[in-house]
């Protein structure tokens, strides 16, 4: 099995700093509330054709809201032609909020062509905070936005209504592969197989990698100039031959309210850690590493499927 090239997704990671006049009153996973507020504010900002569904709109292929939030496949697409939406060009990510704090930071990874709409995104996040977020409509003030490089160093790109130049897009550099890794899921990872959500007992490396490969491939195809060329069938089949060396996962039930569907939706997923001995996994390593920025599974744009990788020590022989 030969990998034709390593996956590459040019991106920028941004951190939005907010404060509020009262202690935070947000759910454990505020991604759904913030994603909804962001989308509503973005549409209110840019939509010039009111009361027309995006799919029927003449401007859908040129609209910032349509591209960022609805993300319809282009008319000439060769992939996902039967779908009304493709992966969004961003994911949100949230640090664990300290209780009683009046400050909040939200990370956004913005992929490829999504960068051209960054000023719209800043304005929409500002308006989302101003309009109020969550069931109690708590207002937030946007103070500044930093670009965070791959070493974790911040560069302020927006402050006091001034937008400064942003760093060029780059794909995360690939470090040397450790002998063993721990993968920690920080927000619920929700992966379906045979139309069923995978519980801890059936969660496998093959299922994780298959979902990750599809996601990275779709982001490359729809949001960058370099579609992923690799041995999809061979990689997917080979992934089924590997198992986690250890796993400590549990199911987390999470319910969110969908304003679009006017109903509560079950969005539970797996949290915890899995371990992998990396011998023989050289072809998979670039995807696993890059997936820390793309997330994996369902609900990624609202922050689900976030994970980090750390080297782990091998047991003594």
At residue 3, the pLDDT reads 44
Instruction: Looking at the structure, tell me whether residues 231 and 129 fall in a common domain.
Output: no
Residue 29's pLDDT band (boundaries 50, 70, 90)? Answer: confident
Residue 1's pLDDT band (boundaries 50, 70, 90)? Answer: very low
In a domain, 210, yes or no: yes
In a domain, 240, yes or no: yes
Instruction: Looking at the structure, tell me whether residues 113 and 211 fall in a common domain.
Output: no
Instruction: Looking at the structure, tell me whether residues 45 and 127 fall in a common domain.
Output: yes
In a domain, 142, yes or no: yes
Q: What does pLDDT average to over the chain? A: 89
CATH classification of the domain holding 221: 3.30.70.1900
The stretch 40-55 carries a mean pLDDT of: 87
Instruction: Looking at the structure, tell me whether residues 74 and 112 fall in a common domain.
Output: yes
Instruction: Looking at the structure, tell me whether residues 62 and 138 fall in a common domain.
Output: yes
Instruction: Looking at the structure, tell me whether residues 150 and 210 fall in a common domain.
Output: no
**Residue 70: pLDDT above 80?**
yes
The stretch 189-205 carries a mean pLDDT of: 92
Q: Which of 130, 163, 196 is the last residue of a domain?
A: 163
CATH classification of the domain holding 110: 3.30.70.1890
- Nearest-10 crossing angle of helices 205-223, 285-294: 70
The stretch 34-50 carries a mean pLDDT of: 91
In a domain, 287, yes or no: yes
**Residue 52: pLDDT above 90?**
no
Domain limits for position 107: 11-163
Give the list of residues 6+ apart from residue 90 with CB closer than 8 angstroms, or none.
Answer: 68, 108, 109, 110, 111, 114, 121, 301
**Residue 7: pLDDT above 90?**
yes
**Residue 4: pLDDT above 60?**
no
Long-range CB contact pairs, 257-260, < 8 A, 24+: 257/32, 257/135, 259/36, 259/40
Residue 317's pLDDT band (boundaries 50, 70, 90)? Answer: very low
CB 244 within 8 A of CB 276: yes
Instruction: Looking at the structure, tell me whether residues 186 and 234 fall in a common domain.
Output: yes
Q: Which of 108, 130, 163 is the last residue of a domain?
A: 163
pLDDT one-digit tens code per residue, 247-302? 999 999 877 655 555 566 677 899 999 999 999 999 999 999 999 999 999 999 99
Instruction: Looking at the structure, tell me whether residues 300 and 184 fall in a common domain.
Output: yes
Instruction: Looking at the structure, tell me whether residues 148 and 190 fall in a common domain.
Output: no
Instruction: Looking at the structure, tell me whether residues 143 and 244 fall in a common domain.
Output: no
Q: What percent of the chain has pLDDT over 70?
A: 91
At residue 260, the pLDDT reads 58
Q: Which of 107, 129, 163 is the last residue of a domain?
A: 163
In a domain, 1, yes or no: no
**Residue 316: pLDDT above 60?**
no
The stretch 39-43 carries a mean pLDDT of: 95
For 266-317, give the DSSP string. Answer: E--EEEEEEEEE-TT-TTTHHHHHHHHHH--SS-GGGTTT-EEEEE-PPPP-
The stretch 55-79 carries a mean pLDDT of: 82
**Residue 38: pLDDT above 50?**
yes
In a domain, 152, yes or no: yes
**The total number of structural domains that make up the chain:** 2
Nearest to 110 by CA among 306, 312, 271, 301: 301
Long-range CB contact pairs, 112-117, < 8 A, 24+: 112/9, 112/10, 112/11, 112/169, 112/219, 112/223, 112/224, 112/225, 113/67, 113/89, 113/223, 113/224, 114/67, 114/68, 114/89, 114/90, 114/223, 115/12, 115/166, 115/169, 117/64, 117/67, 117/68
Instruction: Looking at the structure, tell me whether residues 225 and 290 fall in a common domain.
Output: yes
In a domain, 6, yes or no: no
In a domain, 92, yes or no: yes
The phi and psi torsions of 84 (rounded to 5 degrees) equal -85, -15
For 221-235, give the DSSP string. Answer: HHHSSS---S-HHHH
Lowest-confidence region among 88-102, 132-146, 175-189, 291-305 = 88-102
- The pair of structure tokens assigned to 268 is 């539970």
Lowest-confidence region among 7-16, 76-85, 91-100, 235-244 = 76-85
Instruction: Looking at the structure, tell me whether residues 159 and 295 fall in a common domain.
Output: no
CB 13 within 8 A of CB 107: yes
């Amino acid at each position: 099995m030969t990998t034709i090239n390593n996956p590459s997704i040019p991106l920028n990671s941004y951190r939005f700093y907010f404060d509020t006049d009262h202690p935070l009153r947000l759910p454990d996973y505020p991604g759904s509330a913030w994603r909804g507020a962001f989308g509503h504010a973005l549409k209110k900002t840019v939509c010039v054709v009111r009361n027309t569904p995006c799919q029927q709109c003449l401007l859908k292929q040129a609209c910032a809201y349509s591209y960022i939030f609805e993300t319809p496949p282009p008319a000439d697409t060769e992939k996902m032609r039967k779908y009304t939406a493709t992966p969004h060009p961003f994911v949100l990510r949230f640090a664990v909020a300290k209780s009683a704090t009046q400050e909040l930071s939200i990370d956004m990874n913005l992929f490829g062509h999504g960068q051209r709409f960054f000023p719209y995104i800043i304005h929409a996040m500002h308006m989302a905070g101003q309009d109020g977020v969550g069931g109690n409509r708590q207002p937030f003030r946007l103070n500044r936005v930093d670009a965070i490089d791959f070493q974790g160093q911040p560069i302020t790109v927006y402050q006091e209504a001034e937008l400064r130049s942003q760093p060029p897009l780059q794909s995360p550099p690939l470090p040397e592969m450790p002998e063993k890794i721990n993968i920690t899921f920080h927000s619920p990872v929700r992966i379906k197989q045979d139309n069923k959500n995978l519980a801890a007992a059936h969660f496998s490396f093959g299922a994780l990698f298959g979902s990750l490969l599809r996601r990275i491939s779709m982001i490359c195809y729809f949001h960058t100039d370099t579609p992923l060329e690799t041995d999809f069938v061979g990689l997917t089949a080979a992934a089924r031959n590997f198992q986690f060396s250890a796993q400590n996962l549990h199911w987390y039930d999470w319910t969110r309210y969908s304003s679009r569907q006017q109903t509560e939706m079950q969005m539970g997923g797996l949290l915890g850690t899995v371990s992998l001995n990396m011998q023989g996994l050289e072809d998979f390593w670039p995807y696993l590493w890059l997936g820390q920025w793309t997330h994996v599974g369902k609900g990624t744009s609202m922050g689900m499927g976030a994970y980090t990788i750390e080297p782990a020590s091998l047991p003594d022989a």
